[in-house]
A = this chain, B = another copy of it.
Amino acid sequence: GDLATLDTHRTLRVGMPEVVLAESKTAAQVAAIARTLAARGPLLVTRLSPAKAGPARRAVKGSVYDPVSRTLRKGRMDLPARGPVAVCCAGTSDIPVCEEAAVTLEVMGVEPIRVYDVGVAGIHRLLARRDDLERARAVIVAAGMEGALPSVVGGLVGRPVIGVPTSVGYGASLGGLAPLFTMLNSCAPNVTVVNVDNGFGAAFVAGLVARG
């Protein structure tokens, strides 16, 4: 009926079922789509505000809503992963973006290693977590304001680093564009970048890398 045309071959094609971006949908639309998708495999809904989460949570028995990452999920894929993915952030305000990434990894069947609040203005905090970074197959690094952390991490590891600029900041942070440009200009050659606050996208790519 009034559902969007779901892209049902997607799991086969790109290794992950369609993930619901709830932001521009009503609670009822989210619930209907979630029920349909959950009938076929693991479910992940992102950008779901607490105010809109109820109907979808009730529609999918066994689903879990998390207000920090603003995700609803159920189940996980059982493809094998060759190792974990580290999820780092510069400051505590970046944690919601990191948690969106961590939850996405879990649904993909990949273990996230959380390395939070290790921003560059106190570099010893990052160096203290070097072992965790080194055992990861890929590293996600979220940072707002100056967005410098991915470059430093990129110089420490020999794995793909995925920078996620966040909208944390004010004035010259330009709503996240400043850290976005910082990351794109990284002199560490193993850094690629996703859109502002896009924890899901970063995790999806990191998950593909971890799976091999």
Listed in ascending order, the chain A residues whose CB lies under 8 Å from chain B are 4-5, 7, 9-10, 13-16, 19, 23-25, 82, 90-93, 116-125, 127, 145-148, 151-152, 154-160, 162, 165, 167-198, 200-202, 204-205, 208-209, 212
Contacts and interface: CB of A to CB of B under 8 A. Distances in A.
Contacts of A93: 24-25
A102 to B, nearest CB: 16
Among A155, A158, A184, A190: residue with most chain B CB under 10 A: A184
A133 B180 CA distance: 29
Contact of A179 (B185, B196, B202): B185
B175 A121 contact: no
Contacts of A119: 187
B157 A14 contact: yes
Given A14-B188, A181-B182, A191-B194, 11 more contacts: A5-B125, A7-B122, A24-B92, A122-B155, A146-B147, A148-B152, A160-B209, A172-B180, A172-B195, A182-B182, A192-B194
B196 A148 contact: no
Given A171-B176, A172-B185, A187-B121, A148 B151 contact: yes
Nearest to A116: B5
Given A146-B148, A152-B120, A205 B160 contact: yes
A192 B205 contact: yes
Contacts of A195: 170-173, 184-185
